[in-house]
């Protein structure tokens, strides 16, 4: 701590000395770096150096771009973090008062709920405090960079800190929009391949596998682990169907808009010089994965039909799979990833309960018997997103309407912009809640 304090005092002293002695010589440089109207397009070709100077020129442009991103994140934290921290600290104090005033032994269930809220509030406060420190650290390093007093490793540290600041602020702002019941829960994603036009079975399975990897990479980018709990390989290469469980808060709120058909589109020119679009389809179904305990819901035994599929064509060992059909609604779920039939039955019943609870919420019903069967959508009736591979690579999200040209980046799990657009569109249209499919 003493060494860190000494480093901060020395850095601050160097910075002040630099500002006093070099303010005139660096004024033009600072004008360029702080002007909101600065544009690289303003440079003329005649101004671009050649040879070794050209490499230095592009290196400086790259450093400016990094510095600009850091400064944007720091400015955002300075504007929003103090207010957000004040609000969240007030919430934490309120939760602490509730804990002091409530007899935790009266109702264990409610006591757990109160303690979880207090822990969540304290976690948010800690995260906001952390990004304030990281923003200050990044700001100090970038200012010291004007003196050429830092190494590349320190500048890289500042950039990493600014990315942490951006991610926390994005997550905080998005979580403020996720107010629907079950939005705070984890998520179970099921991807299933299906043939579109004239594509081969090989291409179909490959596409389902790409989507599976996309969601797993997205979870890794968020700092979480995605568990591939079920996977049916095709007879050749790829994935026929797969299930992923995400056991972290707000996973369902983030991903509920992903449900529906995801289409891989390729446009080919035929012998008659006409353009023919070929589609490979895969469905994505997202349901809540209750992290603590699922809400109580009673189902009549006669309304549930249980079967035991073998799946011998996909599995080399005897299957313990369980398939459950809810007769009144026609909803179907299954579980194959556990070792015993009993464990698979418990998981399949939890998945069925999750689907029914979301349906009850969407239809404003308090009893599973009042669910309107005709209002349940088929997962294959709503197209969510198109991934165009040829001739121009792009991703078109049909729910939010946005188009993104970075196809490969999306497939590598960088889907935050699509998720944010979907959440914002749901927030603007409250009636458009997450759908549950058969």
| Residue 404 in tokens | 């993104």
58 and 15 fall within a common domain: no
25 and 143 fall within a common domain: no
Contact 353, 340 (CB under 8 A): no
* CA gap 146, 136 in Å, rounded: 16
Residue 239 belongs to domain spanning? 186-428
Average confidence (pLDDT) per 10 residues, the chain, 438 residues: 43 45 38 36 41 51 64 74 77 79 70 74 79 77 67 72 76 74 91 63 77 94 89 70 91 92 81 69 92 77 88 62 91 89 92 91 84 78 88 89 91 90 74 54
413 and 361 fall within a common domain: yes
The CATH number of residue 281's host domain is 3.30.70.1660
* CA gap 183, 434 in Å, rounded: 10
* CA gap 281, 193 in Å, rounded: 6
Residue 363 in any domain: the answer is yes
The CATH number of residue 76's host domain is 1.20.58
What DSSP string describes 82-130? HHHHHHHHHHHHHHHHHHHHS-TTT-HHHHHHHHHHHHHHHHHHHHHHH
Q: Say if pTM beats, i.e. exceeds, 0.85.
A: no
Residue 42 in any domain: the answer is no
324 and 402 fall within a common domain: yes
Residue 436 in any domain: the answer is no
Residue 435 in any domain: the answer is no
Looking at residue 28, its pLDDT comes to 38
283 and 401 fall within a common domain: yes
194 and 339 fall within a common domain: yes
Residue 180 in any domain: the answer is no
Let me know the angle formed at the C-alpha of 418 by 413 and 421, rounded to the nearest 5 degrees: 155
**Which of 147, 175, 203 marks a domain boundary?**
175
162 and 202 fall within a common domain: no
Taking phi over 0 as left and psi of -120 to 50 as alpha, with beta for the rest, 58 belongs to: alpha
Residue 181 in any domain: the answer is no
Domain count, the chain: 3
155 and 219 fall within a common domain: no
8 and 54 fall within a common domain: no
23 and 125 fall within a common domain: no
25 and 92 fall within a common domain: no
**Which of 124, 145, 175 marks a domain boundary?**
175
Q: Is 235 exposed, middle or buried (0-12, 13-18, 19+ CB in 10 A)?
A: exposed
């Amino acid at each position: 701590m003493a060494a860190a304090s000494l480093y901060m005092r020395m850095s601050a002293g160097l910075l002040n000395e630099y500002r006093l002695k070099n303010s005139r010589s660096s004024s033009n440089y600072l004008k360029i770096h702080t002007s909101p109207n600065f544009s690289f397009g303003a440079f003329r070709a005649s101004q671009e150096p050649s040879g070794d100077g050209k490499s230095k020129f592009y290196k400086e442009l790259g450093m400016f771009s990094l510095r600009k991103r850091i400064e944007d994140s720091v400015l955002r934290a300075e504007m929003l973090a103090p207010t957000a921290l004040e609000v969240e600290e007030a919430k934490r104090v309120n939760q602490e008062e509730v804990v002091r005033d409530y007899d935790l032994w009266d109702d264990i269930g409610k006591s757990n709920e109160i303690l979880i809220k207090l822990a969540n509030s304290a976690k948010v406060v800690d995260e906001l405090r952390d990004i304030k420190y990281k923003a200050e650290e990044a700001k100090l390093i970038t200012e010291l960079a004007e003196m050429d007093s830092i190494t590349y490793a320190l500048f890289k540290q500042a950039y990493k800190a600014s990315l942490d600041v951006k991610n926390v602020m994005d997550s905080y702002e998005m979580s403020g929009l996720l107010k629907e019941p079950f939005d705070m829960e984890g998520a179970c994603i099921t991807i299933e391949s299906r043939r579109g036009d004239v594509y081969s079975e090989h291409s179909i399975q490959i596409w389902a596998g790409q989507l599976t990897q996309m969601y797993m990479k997205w979870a890794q980018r968020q700092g979480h682990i995605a568990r591939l709990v079920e996977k049916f390989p095709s007879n050749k290469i790829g994935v026929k169907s797969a299930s992923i469980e995400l056991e972290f808060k707000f996973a369902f709120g983030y991903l509920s808009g992903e449900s529906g058909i995801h289409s891989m589109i390729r446009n080919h020119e035929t012998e008659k010089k006409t353009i023919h679009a070929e589609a490979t389809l895969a469905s994505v179904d997202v349901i809540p994965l209750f992290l603590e305990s699922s809400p109580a819901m009673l189902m009549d035994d006669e309304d549930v039909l249980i079967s035991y599929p073998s799946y011998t064509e996909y599995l080399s060992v005897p299957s313990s799979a369980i398939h459950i059909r809810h007769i009144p609604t026609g909803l179907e779920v299954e579980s194959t990833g556990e070792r015993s039939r009993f464990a698979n039955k418990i998981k399949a019943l939890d998945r069925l309960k999750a689907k029914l609870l979301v349906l009850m919420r969407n239809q404003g019903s308090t009893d599973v018997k009042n669910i309107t069967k005709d209002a349940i959508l088929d997962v294959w009736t709503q197209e969510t997103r198109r991934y165009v591979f040829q001739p121009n690579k792009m991703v078109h999200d049909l729910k939010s309407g946005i188009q993104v040209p970075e196809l490969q980046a999306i497939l590598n799990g960088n889907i935050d912009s699509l998720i944010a657009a979907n959440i914002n569109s749901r927030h603007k249209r409250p009636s458009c809640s997450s759908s549950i499919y058969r």
